[in-house]
Structure 1
Amino acid sequence: MLFVLAGAAESRCAAAEDTVTSSVGKKPNILFIFADDWGWGDLSCHGHPYVRTPNIDRLAREGTDFERFTVASGVCSPSRTAVMTGQFPARHNIDGHFAWVPSNAKRNMPDWLDPSAVTLPRLLQSGGYKTAHFGKWHLSNDMIPDSPTPAEYGYDRYGAFNCSGEQMPVHEDANETIKFIEAAHSEGDPFFVNLWVHEPHTPFHVIPKYRWRFRHSGLSEADEIYAAVLSHADDRIGEVLDALDRLKLTDETLVIFSSDNGPARGSANAKLELSYDTATGAGFGIGAAKGITAGRKGYKASLFEGGINVPFIVRWPGKVAAGETNDSAMISAVDLLPTFCEIAGVKLPSAYQPDGVSQVSALQGQSSTGRTKPLFWKYGARWPAQKSRPHHWASYCVVNERWKLLANQDSSYLELYDIVSDPYESTDLKETHPNAVSKLSEQLADWKASLPESPDSKLFSSLRKN
């Protein structure tokens, strides 16, 4: 397992004098659990018919379940870029997942996220936090050996896969998280941990004991595998929650569970067979991907809600209400950096331009409707839509106030939804609300014009020269 001590960050920013931390006392610890392809419906607390997630359900009982949270992309790398930078991933030319160099070049992408960008862990380091990352990285790729390691982005320690260097085995994430929390606690330091679990991304590295749990459930083999890997992930999350209890840190720790995008789904005739990933090894392939969106349109790689509206469960005892469901606050992944920095008492750099806003008041129960600061998405989708993927045609999207506009690559086709009253996107309103279409189309055009034409060559691997 790779467990690296990073050097101190050179760039520091001053702590704010008047912040939420001054009103709540000691700086809270922050544990951000980010799953991979975990659909909104893939929780027993969200009504899944056979998946069992008692530990994540515990977070929902002891915290608030925010139903309107969206990530900044329908796929992995750009979604994670937004969390790290607080900016739309298109600002970094990261519009798809990081793959091997020829694929990145073909899609006008860099080969890794710029390590000189303002990043969440580096900001929290400046506020006195010990920082760590355990689990999936994918802000580069294991097939790009000269890419920066997570240590160069502001982590004191890390163990990761889908990165350069040694690949941490996927199931060691919780154990390493617990070790790090214990060390930070013994030193009296507040901590920030990314626990970015592999599940339920392919390959499905299923453990026999977890399949055994579902042996009498009457499930198909594929459904049994899917339930088993989610059960395993939930158990590991439970181990970390138990460690917080044991160390008497539960009341001092903000815990969030979410996912990088909606669930992956294979074709109707996808076979159940083994596959191999260079970062994580062998396991079952897409035939075992049985995630659900609980009625939302689209799946992974879609800009409809099934691809970007994911679980977001927040527990912060005494600060966030317990046992509540919030179906109105439209929080985005780009909001996490400014939110965590406000909680940590860290001032944002004066030259930094976040796309998100702090959502501390929303977390603490202040009511809101719609989105006052626009959200934008970019993704290279096929047009016209495929019959088998009718909700995977949108290449651009903008949400502002109560409206959501989706557009194909050249904006020759649009759909408009009242995303406040119609979160399942059932009624296209573009014909009856032309003014909203015009306003959002203009906003989208202005945003597209602000984006860089190509990535900086300093973010290219030396493999591009070969």
Structure 2
Amino acid sequence: MNIAPCFRNKGLLSISLVLLLFLSATLTFGQSEKPNIIYILSDDQSWTDYGFMGHPHIETPNIDQLAEDGLTFTRGYVTAPLCSPSLASIITGLYPYQHGITGNDPEFTFEKPRYQTDWQTARSRLYKDYLDEFQKHPTVPQLLKKLGYVSFQSGKWWGGHWKEGGFTDGMTHGDPTRGGRHGDEGLKIGREGMDPIFDFMDKAIADKDPFFVWYAPFLPHSPHTPPDSLLNKYLPKAPTKSIAAYWAMCEWLDITVGQLLDKVEKEGLTENTLVVFVTDNGWIQDPDRPNRYAPGSKQDPQDMGIRTPIIYKWPGKITPRMDTEHLTSSIDMAVTTLEAVGLEPLPEMQGINVLDRKALANRKKIYSMDFSHDMVAVDQPEKTLESRMVISGSWKLIAPGPANPNNEEMQLYDILKDPMETNNLANEYPKVVKKLVASLDSWWPGEGNSN
């Protein structure tokens, strides 16, 4: 009796079963490895104001640990030194001149005080043109939704209702008659606990959905009203009460970051969660005026206005490393996130995947821009352009724009030797200025909207 065919058939069956099991395991592994994503966005904090960045007094142990566990870029920058355009760039992967949000509010005359209900309503009507332009561009949560992600908005948000940003859940209603402008109910997160995020996470975990969290607390943003225990801790260390209050706010932010990361750890999600940390713009606390910033920080093109550490943590996928050399930008966050989950970045996104070492090494320049606080024309961003900035190696050029209030001259700094930008070298290195201006002009000449 010839039994070879029987064995051959059984062999084929065994191979088929092995292949099916392998494919099943591969698919299951792929699904389980689809990372949860958390963006942590500090609000109004200098790049120097963390323990791991060398601040002598501010204690940020949780963010320090995040930096130790992640790929941390100390030479990170945002696209603008103002929160609304900066955050819009983070969520879209586009520069302000592309997405249309160049300031916080439309410019208009109103006889009643700014920020009152009537003003908010009038602002909302004028802001619609800018919001419409912004909403032409897909956001990170909208793109992630294609892969089954659920998403949650909390904290700072200028894009109207959370649904208008492509989130599946959130806190901000955006209704101007109820104070809707830059976060409203969302601004309670962190300051009044973390339960809304935790409730969202619990539901996503129960439903077995990968999730995206936008955690943009109103911290350390003014009003600087830290818990008494934190304020009293810093009063003996700070030169003034205003500075002590700001330092305490930085630690308060850190405490909430710890609470969020502890939740991730408690739920067993640490290994499958990509955490990204950045600040929206810088801040120098005025020593004598509470809740006020000093010149050269927020709304200004100096590094104290646009520089920030940027951290990417994903255990087992991202090797922890403190990168003090390579330039990176918040414009990279969308591209890096999309490629991490297997999605192609949109063609108009100018960032790079910072996990690609070759792309990182090949990058020679990054850019930023500074506009007026108030916007005058969604299709003509150059009307409020105050400065364009380019950083290349150790050089940083600040080129004045048509709306620069002081009509300043070119500013060139060696920011590795002069990080506080005290010595303008433009007259000493005209060839460097010329080369960097040409780079700026090839990137965006500051003329018209190049969507």
- From the superposition, tell whether residues 110 and 261 of structure 1 become closer, same or farther in structure 2 (CA, over 3 Å): farther
Partner-residue secondary structure (3-state), 2:134:
coil
Number of the residue aligned with 1:223: 243
Number of the residue aligned with 1:27: 34
CA offsets 1:137-168 (integer angstroms, 9 cap, x no match): 134xxxxxxxx312112101111387755624
List aligned pairs for 1:380-459, cutoff 5 A: 380=372, 395-400=387-392, 403-410=395-402, 413-418=409-414, 425=421, 428-446=424-442, 447-448=444-445, 451-452=448-449
List aligned pairs for 1:314-325, cutoff 5 A: 314-322=312-320, 324-325=321-322
Partner-residue secondary structure (3-state), 2:322:
strand
What is the number of equivalent residue pairs in this alignment? 386
Number of the residue aligned with 1:358: 353
Alignment of 1:75 onto 2:73 = no
Number of the residue aligned with 1:181: 201
Alignment of 1:87 onto 2:84 = no
List aligned pairs for 1:6-17, cutoff 5 A: none
Partner-residue secondary structure (3-state), 2:326:
coil
- From the superposition, tell whether residues 163 and 431 of structure 1 become closer, same or farther in structure 2 (CA, over 3 Å): farther
List aligned pairs for 1:364-375, cutoff 5 A: 368=360, 371-372=363-364, 374-375=366-367
The amino acid of 2:369's aligned partner reads W
CA distance in 2, matches of 1:195, 1:94: 20
Tell whether the 8 Å contact from 1:39 to 1:262 is kept in structure 2 after alignment: yes
Tell whether the 8 Å contact from 2:39 to 2:275 is kept in structure 1 after alignment: yes
The amino acid of 1:150's aligned partner reads W
Partner-residue secondary structure (3-state), 1:301:
coil
Tell whether the 8 Å contact from 1:174 to 1:237 is kept in structure 2 after alignment: no
Number of the residue aligned with 2:281: 261
Tell whether the 8 Å contact from 1:328 to 1:370 is kept in structure 2 after alignment: no
The alpha-carbon deviation at position 299 of structure 1 amounts to 1.2
The amino acid of 2:355's aligned partner reads V
CA RMSD of aligned residues (A): 3.5
CA distance in 2, matches of 1:177, 1:108: 28
CA distance in 2, matches of 1:442, 1:201: 36
The alpha-carbon deviation at position 75 of structure 1 amounts to 0.9
Partner-residue secondary structure (3-state), 1:329:
coil
Question: Which has the larger helix fraction?
Answer: 2
The amino acid of 2:412's aligned partner reads L
The alpha-carbon deviation at position 72 of structure 1 amounts to 0.3
One of 227, 230, 236 as aligned partner of 1:207 = 227
Moved more, 196-205 or 153-162: 153-162
Rg: which structure is higher? 2
Task: State, as a whole percentage, how many aligned pairs show the same letter.
Answer: 28
The alpha-carbon deviation at position 239 of structure 1 amounts to 0.9
Tell whether the 8 Å contact from 2:151 to 2:211 is kept in structure 1 after alignment: yes
CA distance in 1, matches of 2:305, 2:59: 22
- From the superposition, tell whether residues 264 and 75 of structure 1 become closer, same or farther in structure 2 (CA, over 3 Å): farther
Partner-residue secondary structure (3-state), 2:256:
helix
CA offsets 1:207-230 (integer angstroms, 9 cap, x no match): 334335446657643233223322
TM-score when normalising by structure 1: 0.72
Number of the residue aligned with 2:60: 53
Alignment of 1:96 onto 2:103 = yes
CA distance in 1, matches of 2:396, 2:427: 14
CA distance in 1, matches of 2:128, 2:300: 19
Residue segments in structure 1 that go unaligned for 5+ positions in a row: 1-21, 140-147, 273-284, 291-296, 382-392, 456-466
CA distance in 1, matches of 2:366, 2:195: 39
Tell whether the 8 Å contact from 1:330 to 1:370 is kept in structure 2 after alignment: no
List aligned pairs for 1:129-278, cutoff 5 A: 129-139=149-159, 148-160=160-172, 164=176, 165=180, 167-168=185-186, 169-170=188-189, 171-172=191-192, 174-214=194-234, 220-266=240-286, 269-270=288-289, 272=290
One of 113, 125, 141 as aligned partner of 2:145 = 125
- From the superposition, tell whether residues 159 and 434 of structure 1 become closer, same or farther in structure 2 (CA, over 3 Å): same
CA distance in 2, matches of 1:231, 1:213: 10
Tell whether the 8 Å contact from 2:271 to 2:316 is kept in structure 1 after alignment: yes
CA distance in 2, matches of 1:109, 1:430: 41
Residue segments in structure 2 that go unaligned for 5+ positions in a row: 1-28, 111-122, 374-384
Partner-residue secondary structure (3-state), 2:268:
coil
CA offsets 1:162-210 (integer angstroms, 9 cap, x no match): 7755624242463222222222122222111110011121112333343
- From the superposition, tell whether residues 244 and 373 of structure 1 become closer, same or farther in structure 2 (CA, over 3 Å): same
CA distance in 2, matches of 1:35, 1:394: 24
Tell whether the 8 Å contact from 1:134 to 1:195 is kept in structure 2 after alignment: yes
Partner-residue secondary structure (3-state), 1:195:
strand
One of 337, 342, 349 as aligned partner of 1:340 = 337
CA distance in 2, matches of 1:195, 1:302: 25
CA distance in 2, matches of 1:418, 1:219: 30
Partner-residue secondary structure (3-state), 1:44:
coil
Partner-residue secondary structure (3-state), 1:193:
strand
Number of the residue aligned with 2:72: 65
